Amino acid sequence: MRDVLQDIEPWRRDGKRIAVATVVKVWGSAPRPLGSKMAVSDAGDMAGSVSGGCVEGAVYEEAQGVMERGEPKLVHFGVSDDQAWAVGLSCGGQIDVFIEPLGERTAIYDKLKESIEEERLVALATVVAGPGLGEQMLLWPDGSFLGDVGPRELEKHVEDLVAELFGSFASERRTFDVTGEEVEVFVEVHPPRPKLIIVGAVHVAIPLVTFAKALGLRTIVVDPRTAFATRDRFPHADELDSRWPDEALEAIGVNENTFVALLSHDLKLDVPALEIVLRRPARYVGALGSKKTHAKRVAALLERGISDDAIARIHNPIGLDLGGRKAEEIAVAVIAEMVAVSHGRGG
């Protein structure tokens, strides 16, 4: 949804009718992943893609009908081998696309847009087949929600599924039996954009920024030692922050898609940073340093009231054990561990 928001907003201001198409199921080597979006207006505007070009024309036509009727529709498309080759695939596939008129769900859309822009983790559940077609519900990790998908029995199924998917940021379509009838619900998780906060502008941080940016993370280097955190050393970092780590982390914000690497192995920097991070839902927390250094960190954190369970979230030694000792090799080990953790693996 993030990709088409900037296009949808001007259309809304101009009073255009809008339909949004979402890939809700994929079979085989379909051109675009689950959750891919395409927005269409009644004036002929288009944004986004659901198939890389294979079926966009058909989706556009279906969307015009959806806007005219004011009712959502689930459409199945097969992508032929010839079409697949045209967009760079080795074989064809099939997709289900759910097309909905945006005007029917303005409250849901506005709140979803707000959460995405505020970098809040949120899930959108939509009934895509069966009774209650088109009903929607927004859910947040704190248990709050907006809208409904029908009977309480179905809502409970959706709540359980969303709680499961929040941990992996995955999206999924699932069928539930509700009072003898099958209802298919597509749950799309919208995570905050990923970012890496590095505390300690040491040499290892330089290649780590490079690798993180290659993976699409926003990179922020925090170090009050201004001789270390310079643009000469970090021309590729998105942001340099010379505040003390606790102040910087409070201002930057730590959410469910934040990765934090503490590389200074200096307790004056590490402990205040960890006290902030371990009270937040960071996706990854790693700290460079020996067992002796880490033991001192742990003792200091316990004195500050941080629980044993929270402290256990710290990856130390930081990174996977690849055996390397060069700065670039350590950076590879750290980024590899971040990738593993983000996919629920231990490495």
User: 27 and 95 in contact (C-beta within 8 Å)?
Assistant: yes
User: 186 and 22 in contact (C-beta within 8 Å)?
Assistant: yes
User: Looking at residue 210, which CATH number applies to its domain?
Assistant: 3.40.50.720
pLDDT digits (tens, 9 = 90+) for 36-69: 999 999 999 999 988 776 788 889 999 999 999 9
Return all residues near 231 (Cβ < 8 A) that are at least 6 apart: 240
Domain count, the chain: 3
Q: What is the model's pLDDT at position 31?
A: 66
pTM: 0.86
Ramachandran assignment for 265, one of left (phi > 0), alpha (psi -120 to 50 degrees), beta (any other): left
Domain ranges, residue 158: 120-190
**Residues 217 and 318 occupy one common structural domain:** yes
**Residues 49 and 135 occupy one common structural domain:** no
- Name the domain boundary from 190, 218, 242: 190
Q: What is the dihedral of CA 123, 129, 133, 137, to 10 degrees?
A: -10
Q: What is the model's pLDDT at position 339?
A: 96
Q: What is the model's pLDDT at position 83?
A: 54
Q: What is the dihedral of CA 130, 133, 135, 137, to 10 degrees?
A: 50
Q: Which residues of the chain fall below pLDDT 50?
A: 85, 87-90
